[in-house]
């Protein structure tokens, strides 16, 4: 059955791969599933046809036969559960890999998203310069903990998994800030993710859209 995902017609990051369709593309590449992409403009995302796919008018979405999904983690989990390559077979390691997926989006990503809000959306507010260091401190708190847990390991829990796919994707959002470089093991972890052939294919595919 044909898989169709949605992505920005023009990503605000100009092709740095930070929009969440890259996470879905990466998962699809890891599990070797071909896919098509429906590109949507910001205006089209808020129209009924797209709202039927995504109630919040965002990307990415996923369609396969009569199944339509939204929320990146749910799409990645769907793929990981149905195809080999992103989750261990044994129940306990599998549950731990899924835990890392949620840790990425629920525990590590929120302060990272706050940084974008603080810098871009709230950067001109009178209190912005006071707030920014607090936001950065909250990111460092999480990275200190993550760095300690990762240690010298290549991946978070044994072999590469959907948990690493989500965590690397989340950490990539920090690269421009320079904060990631304060944690050499996390910077190396992200580089290992980016070096995966599946990531490279996903990155190139989104770049091609954004540099047309
Ligand atoms: N929780 C959602 C967030 C989706 C999301 O924020 N998508 C962004 C692109 S990465 C978007 O569509 N932004 C445009 C908008 O919200 O209007 C997920 O993980 O899929």
Question: In 10 A of CB 203, how many CB atoms?
Answer: 19
How far apart are alpha carbons 106 and 100 in whole angstroms? 10
- With the most atoms of ligand 1 within 8 angstroms of its CB, the residue from 17, 37, 57, 59 to mutate is 59
Q: What is the pLDDT of residue 123?
A: 86
* Average of per-residue pLDDT across 111-115: 96
Atom in ligand 1 nearest the alpha carbon of residue 72: 20
Structure tokens at 51: 């709202």
Which among 61, 14, 26 is positioned nearest to 201, based on CA atoms? 26
pTM above 0.85, yes or no: yes
* Average of per-residue pLDDT across 16-32: 98
Q: What is the pLDDT of residue 105?
A: 98
* Average of per-residue pLDDT across 2-30: 97
Pocket residues: Cβ below 6 A from ligand 1? 19-20, 45, 57-59, 71-72
Tell me, in angstroms, the distance from the centre of ligand 1 to residue 153's CA: 31
DSSP lists the bridge partners of residue 7 as 39
* Average of per-residue pLDDT across 34-46: 98
* Average of per-residue pLDDT across 56-77: 98
Judged by average pLDDT, the poorest of 10-14, 89-93, 122-126, 170-174 is: 122-126
Tell me, in angstroms, the distance from the centre of ligand 1 to residue 134's CA: 24
Average per-residue pLDDT for the chain: 97
pLDDT surpasses 90 at 159: yes
């Amino acid at each position: 059955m044909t898989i169709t995902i949605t992505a920005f017609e023009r990503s605000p990051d100009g092709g740095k791969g930070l929009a969440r369709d890259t996470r879905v593309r990466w998962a699809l590449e890891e599990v070797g599933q071909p896919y098509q992409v429906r590109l949507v403009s910001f205006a089209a995302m808020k129209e009924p046809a797209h709202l039927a796919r995504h109630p919040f008018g965002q990307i990415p979405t996923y369609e396969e036969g009569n199944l339509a999904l939204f929320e990146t983690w749910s799409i990645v989990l769907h793929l990981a559960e149905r195809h080999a390559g992103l989750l261990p077979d044994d129940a306990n390691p599998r549950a731990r890999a899924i835990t890392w997926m949620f840790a990425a989006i629920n525990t590590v990503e929120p302060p990272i998203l706050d940084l974008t809000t603080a810098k871009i959306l709230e950067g001109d507010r009178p209190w912005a310069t006071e707030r920014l260091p607090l936001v950065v401190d909250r990111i460092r708190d999480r990275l200190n903990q993550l760095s300690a847990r990762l240690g010298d390991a290549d991946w978070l829990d044994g072999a590469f998994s959907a948990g690493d796919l989500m965590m690397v994707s989340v950490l990539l959002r920090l690269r421009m800030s320079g904060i990631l470089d304060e944690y050499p093991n996390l910077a190396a972890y992200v580089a290992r993710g980016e070096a995966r052939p599946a990531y490279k294919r996903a990155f190139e595919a989104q770049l091609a859209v954004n540099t047309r």
